Each structure stands twice: as structure tokens, then as C-alpha cells.
Amino acid sequence: MQAIVNIINNFKRYSFLMRQLIMRDFKVKYKRSVLGILWSILNPLLMMIVMSIVFSHVFRFNIEGVNYLVYLLTGLVMFQFFSEATNTAMTSVVSNFTLINKVYIPKYIFPLSKCLFASVNFLLTLIPLYLMIIFTGSGETKVIITWAHLFLPYVFVCLMLFSLGIGLILSTISVFLRDMFYLYTVLLTILNYLTPIFWDIKMLANSGYMHIFMLNPLFQFINFARTIILNARVPSLCSFIICGGVAIFTFILGCIVFKSKQDKFIYYV
């Protein structure tokens, strides 16, 4: 209990630094850009338009009774958030070693600020996503926005906690093993293909591998969101428990790993 109180007090004490780190990331990302932060909306919007053209007229992927474009973009937006949050969190400690050497700052501030920055970007990408939801599809593939969408913040918070937990683990490993920067790029590529983003997991129903692929936590988060967006219904209680349980477990594991090694960071950064 005392540890939780200390974390809350530190969060309040260093909230100003947290805001400055997030603002710095935005300034660096959009430095010398005319449109600035608007690119956080325009970039995913343009990407989604390209995706709609490619998969509607070139490859012509289709899932019966489902708006495939929204199916694809829902998975893509969530996976890209996970990719950005974990990638930036992984490098956060090493890239701020000069600040760590000069003053005392709780080191978890750095991966946390990166995940919060990615979360802001993620929320902005929901604007073009919902534009696609509103203006694409027809007949049985038309996506209807219902009260079930009120449960989407739950899975977004779960995904954020999960990403932060992975980010804390990666940022710890990368301090001692810089090769992790390159290995994780390969791992993300593999994970991208193993996660049902472009394809439907029901394709594996007769192969015996379906339940193995369902163990992928990202599939659980994406499937939760798709159940609400595409099927206009609230996911099962089991889905709520799985998403929440995986997120909390990964977050706690990340905190334990990070805390156990953070005192040694100063000797390696």
C-alpha cells in the first residue's frame, strides 16, 4: 500500500516534468512542419484513404458480412499504437541518460511519458477512424455506432497498460543489451503477421492452430474492439476479464522488472 502511495505522490510531484517531456516529443516530431500537430490526424487519414483504395480495388480482400476496411483499420490503429508506445519506451531511458546523470528523477517517468505521448497520438487517430466508420460500407456491411462504443475506453486503457508493461521490460533490457533496438524491430514484424490484422482468424478454424493464435494478447484487445465496432455488441464477460487480467499482469511484471534493475542503470547508460 505504501508503495502505491509513493508512486501517486511521485506522479503528482513530477507531473510538470511529465507534461514537458510529452510536449518536447510533439515539438521534436513536428519541428519545422507547417501543419504541426494536424499531421497526427492527417497522416492516419491519408493512410486510411490509401488502404481503402488498395484493399477495395487492388487486392479486394473480403470477409462476408463485414466492412473489411473498418476491420483492417481497427486492427491497424491498435497495433500501430502498441508498436509506437513500446518502441519509444524502449529507447527512453538510454536517450535520456544525460538527464539521469545530472539530477534525481524517477526513471519510470521516461517510458511512461513515451506511452502517454503515443496515447495522445492514438486518440487523434480515432478521428479519421470514425470518419471511415461513418462514410464507408453499405447494406449489411454498414457499421452502426451504438451505445456499445461506450465500452471502447476500457480496452484502450487495457492496451495502454499492456504496452507500458512491455515498454518497461524493453527499456530495462535495452540498457544492458543495446542489440534489443534491432531485435525488437524484427520481433514486431513477426508479431504483425501473427496478429489477425489483415486476415481473419476464422481461416484457421480447421487447422488446429486457431487456439494458439488466440493466445496472442494483441488479438484479444483487437478482437474486443472489433466486437464492439463491427458487431455493435458488448463483448463477453470472459473478454473483459482476459483483457483486464493480461493488462494488469503485464503492467505489474514490467514494474517489478524495471524496479529491480533501475539502480544499475547509471553504470550502463
Q: Which residues of 38-52 are buried (b: 16+ CB within 10 A; e: fewer)?
A: ebbbeebbebbeebb
Q: Is the pLDDT of residue 159 over 90?
A: yes
The set of cell numbers assigned to 56 is 477495395
DSSP for 222-263, written as a single string: HHHHHHHHHH-SPPPHHHHHHHHHHHHHHHHHHHHHHHHHGG
- pLDDT band at 138, cuts 50/70/90? low
Nearest of 149, 73, 87 to residue 117 by alpha carbon: 87
- pLDDT band at 89, cuts 50/70/90? very high
pLDDT of residue 11: 66
Write the pLDDT tens digit of every residue in 49-73. Answer: 776 676 666 655 666 777 788 888 8
Q: What is the number of helices (H) and of strands (E) in the chain?
A: 11, 0
Percent of the chain residues past pLDDT 70, beyond the cut = 79
**Across residues 197-204, what is the average pLDDT?**
79
Nearest of 90, 79, 4 to residue 47 by alpha carbon: 79
The cell 535495452 sits on which residue? 174
Q: Is the pLDDT of residue 251 over 80?
A: yes
Decide: helix, strand or coil at residue 201. Answer: helix
Write the pLDDT tens digit of every residue in 91-128. Answer: 988 887 877 777 777 888 889 889 988 898 888 888 88
- pLDDT band at 21, cuts 50/70/90? confident
Range from 22-26, 119-123, 129-133, 163-167 carrying the lowest mean pLDDT: 22-26
